[in-house]
Structure 1
């Protein structure tokens, strides 16, 4: 099996997963109206997705390398397809919540496979390739608002975007399966230790990886908190119509795409720990800009800054961790997803719960608060990286 074919499978998969994950925030106003979902139920929907991701990341981090990566990726894509189709037919919100939990479990295992596989296939260009992989995810989130608007022009129902996307995942499953059958299994062969289940205790007890997980909490709160709630916030909290709200939100995904595509260029001039702080600072300024204005142009700029700072941060943090201990790749991906999913719960459900007692315009403060936490944890993580690099340099 060629490295390029395996990379293409993961890149296409991350593009489609980007659409899957951001789609719910875009469709939420119509879903809530159709299924009579309160703000609390809407928040619970995103919370259950993130709870499922925690479960899936924990299982995936320990066990995915027992299997052929791409064959398992194909099977998981089929399961996501079935879940999307089932969710597109529900008429009671309880079934939507159950499906959200299952979707989170399966999707996070796919993330673990993608992160681990790309990190192992492209050791020499790990940061750049992981950035491109997450760029594909962001490209999917960028395409999603236009995808929904296009389908809404034909039939204004939230169900068809799920069904059409399911068709794309069928093609992904076939592509992954055919690629897997053409060559050797991608999990390292002949290394017994890589066929055993891994222990989270081995990594989380190290301060550098603990701060990675804590930064992941802030990352999930900002990325998916903004992704899940901004369209609703812009419509219900600031009075914009649906098309304008989705257009403003597109600047967030555009910033994510640009950042993930080009952040590795700046590693020529900045160390990875210094670039982390720069990106986190840009993101924090953008988060407060969104909240403190009602002007659509300034809000668009704030969204762009959040995406620009946030986009390169995740691949930069994860690739730096894998440079320290690449054998623990599935676990490192797992703790990032677990941390991120915890942040999603805090921001998504917290915003919904707060909005049940106060206007959504007030409850949206969860996003700037999450940005502040992320800046602090990214700074501490960067200091741990700098400390380790100084020690390694002294030993050398």
Structure 2
């Protein structure tokens, strides 16, 4: 069983890496897409809307699909679908076809994301946050890989083909997943992971989860968390360029330290949680990230901004996996829906604040509009404190959401 699940863990890692890779591909490739399809900034922004809308729909569907399907079938079907859609994206003759393909690709990617989170957490009742953090480390690694690959490809091909090559490269991990999934089918065609056919767990829908205050609080914290993260990721480069006078290259390099800090903290999360209580880690790191965000205002030195971005990314990186892990501990049988709930809330928060910053910048200045990011980060830290204070008193309705007794065998 242990060897088998280790293979499954490798499949999950490849899936999470390519999902992170695709998640930043559109943002990195916007200049190339504008040239290829002759679109303006507003039309290019609609491509983000297509991806975000698909992420929301996929997160909603992912919880339902995981609870009614077999893990192996879900991963195989979604991986095969992603390969076909990636080819469709790379060969799209117009921006409309490209947007439709991106929308469908985002749906399947979000289904994989929620199914992957749920599958990973099925292996143990405890230690969920560490495993989720490891998976999110691969997401961050994919985030970092996209701009590096996009910057290296012009050395070996013409610029006009770079964006197509980036998407086609993303299909390679999916192909590896399909090959790896095919091997053990002869031995066991049941779900991957540590479960048995006698484990029939009753689950509830999203509205059933939201009827309980602790899960409603989880949704609120997720909205604030992703709003701050993505607003900073989307607008920092423009803020540093227009308000602080940095070049685009230097601003991107500083933002890269933020992403690098997130990846490092997720990699080290299991060691941190081994030594400290997860609830205390969540509070301390959230407050520290908010302090870093506030300290960034008024700074215009490259060294100080670089250090603050790295520190903010490090403190911010473990927030979502630890938050999701704590929430899943309350109802392991609804892990897939809780992951989907967090992703849906994150999509709403990310799009809402990113749009608000841009709209406010049109009426004032980007320097003033960017102040919303540390403000939301501070509210997020406060919401974490409230969530953790309410956590020990949470009473999940066990008649409707029973605690899953899953043996802890074979970690990832």
Secondary structure class of the residue paired with 1:190: coil
Taking a change above 3 Å as real, the CA distance of residues 160 and 232 of structure 1, as seen in their structure-2 partners, is: farther
> Rg: which structure is higher?
2
Aligned to 1:337: 343
Cα distance in 2 for partners of 1:353, 1:89 equals: 33
Maintained 8 Å contact 1:55/1:105: yes
Tell me, which stretches of 5 or more residues in structure 2 are unaligned? 396-412
Which stretch has the larger CA shift, 226-235 or 214-223? Answer: 226-235
Instruction: After superposition, give the CA deviation of every residue in 1:87-114 in whole Å (9 maximum; x if it has no partner).
Output: 2344643334333322321111111111
Tell me the CA shift for residue 326 of structure 1. 0.5
Q: How does 1:126-145 map to 2 (within 5 A)?
A: 126-145=128-147
Aligned pair in 2 of structure 1 residues 180, 27: CA closer, same or farther (>3 Å)?
farther
Which of the numbers 269, 289, 294 marks the counterpart of 1:288? 294
- Cα deviation, 1:41-78, whole Å, max 9, x if unaligned, reads 44433233222222111111123122121321122122
Instruction: Please give the alpha-carbon distance, in whole angstroms, between the structure 2 residues aligned to 1:170 and 1:324.
Output: 36
- TM score, norm. by length of structure 1: 0.87
* Structure 2 partner of 1:394: none
Flag the 1:369–1:328 CA change in 2: closer, same or farther, 3 A. same
Question: In structure 2, what is the equivalent of residue 392 of structure 1?
Answer: none
1:1-396 alignment, distance < 5 Å? 2-32=4-34, 34-90=36-92, 92-154=94-156, 155-156=158-159, 157-179=162-184, 182-186=187-191, 188-191=195-198, 193-194=200-201, 198-235=204-241, 238=244, 240-357=246-363, 359-388=365-394
Q: Provide closer, same or farther for how the CA distance between residues 239 and 318 of structure 1 changes in structure 2, counting only shifts above 3 A.
A: same
Q: Distance in 1 between matches of 2:222 and 2:361?
A: 24
- Distance in 2 (CA, whole Å) between partners of 1:45 and 1:276 is 34
CA shift, 1:336, in A, is 0.8
Distance 1:191 1:310, change over 3 A: farther
Change in Cα spacing, 1:255 to 1:94, as seen in structure 2 (3 Å) is same
Q: Is the 8 A contact 2:90 2:168 kept in 1?
A: yes
Offset of residue 177 of structure 1: 4.2
Change (3 A) 1:108 1:290: farther
Q: Contact 1:17 / 1:107 at 8 angstroms: preserved in 2? A: yes
Please name the residue that 2:405 is paired with. Answer: none
Give the 3 Å change call, closer, same or farther, for CA 244–88 of structure 1 in structure 2.
Answer: farther
Relative distance call for 1:41 and 1:332 in structure 2 (3 A) is same
1:164-214 Cα distance to aligned partner (Å, 9 max, x none): 2223332233323445555342264434744x7741122211111111111
* Gap change, CA 1:230 and 1:209, over 3 Å in 2: same
**Equivalent position SS for 2:122:** helix
CA contact (8 A) 2:282 2:384 kept: yes
Q: Is 213-222 or 76-85 further displaced after alignment?
A: 76-85
Q: Give the secondary-structure state (helix, strand or coil) at the position aligned to 1:60.
A: helix
Uncovered stretches (5+) of structure 1, i.e. residues with no partner: 390-396
